[in-house]
Amino acid sequence: MAETGDHEVTQLIAAWRSGNDEARDALMALVYANVRAIARQSLRQMPGATLGATDLAHEALLRMLGSDAPWESRKHFYHVVAQATRQVLVDAARRRLADKRGSGAEHVEIEAALEVGGEHGDSTLMQLDTALDALAESNARRAQMIELVYFGGLNREEVAATLEVSEGTVDRDLRLARAWLRTALEA
């Protein structure tokens, strides 16, 4: 996602916050390819998902545009992309599971949760969503990192720049967040 000119993204966000709706449209045009790439990356980690990358990107962008306030910064924007992508995937899983109530959920690790598809993947994604919410309550930055990596498609350097921390901090926090989620998913 860092391929799009970060300075231009920041300028467009500031212009939109100042009331320039044309800046919002320009921002969407500028970041569309990156949001679609993020969607494609998220779907690669979840084979069997019924959404395509274009559909996921469009739905995520629609949710982002429907949010109450424009983004505060490039950092906030990247976080909102990851959150919107996560929520679209979780909502799709909820819809697929609506007719399948009572199916037994298995406990799996985060990496496995993001690699499985189909009915099992839907219930696992729901468990992961719940676990991520719980992680956010105890350590919001670690939950953000998981979202940015797994749902936002960012690499460790991009996560470090987005959250304004060192790459070492990203490595440590991701390791701790994965361990925390593994424990939560096994419980």
Is it the case that residue 184 has pLDDT exceeding 80?
yes
Pairwise CA distance, residues 111 & 37, whole Å: 20
Helices 118-138 and 74-97, axial angle in degrees (round to 10): 140
If pLDDT is split at 50, 70 and 90, which confidence band does 4 have?
low
Domain that holds residue 55: 6-186
Q: Report residue 118's pLDDT band, with 50, 70 and 90 as the boundaries.
A: very low
| Domain-located, residue 122 | yes
pLDDT of residue 19: 83
For residue 173, the model assigns a pLDDT of 95
Tell whether the model's pLDDT for residue 185 goes beyond 70: yes
Return the closest-CA partner of residue 99 out of 114, 119, 74, 116. 119
pLDDT confidence tier of residue 107, bands split at 50, 70 and 90: very low
- Total domains in the fold of the chain: 1
Is the pLDDT at 74 greater than 60? The verdict is yes
Residue 100 has pLDDT above 80, yes or no: no
- pLDDT tens digits, one per residue of 137-154: 999 999 999 988 888 888
Mean pLDDT across the chain, nearest whole number? Answer: 78
Q: What's this model's pTM, rounded to 2 decimal places?
A: 0.64
pLDDT of residue 61 exceeding 90, the answer is no
Q: Is 1 a domain residue?
A: no
Burial of 133 (0-12, 13-18, 19+ CB in 10 A): exposed
The predicted-structure confidence for 150-168, as pLDDT tens digits, reads as follows 888 888 898 998 889 999 9
Burial class (CB in 10 A: 0-12, 13-18, 19+), 122: buried
Q: How far is the first Cα of the chain from the last one, in angstroms, to the nearest whole number?
A: 34
The Cα 187–Cα 176 span in angstroms is 17
- Structural domain contains residue 174: yes
The pairs formed by 34-37 with CB atoms below 8 angstroms and a separation of 24 or more are 34/1, 34/3, 34/4, 35/60, 35/61, 35/81, 37/1, 37/153
Sign of CA pseudo-dihedral 57, 58, 63, 65: positive
pLDDT exceeds cutoff 90 at 102: no
**Residue 81 is assigned to a structural domain of this protein:** yes
Q: Give the pLDDT of residue 167.
A: 94
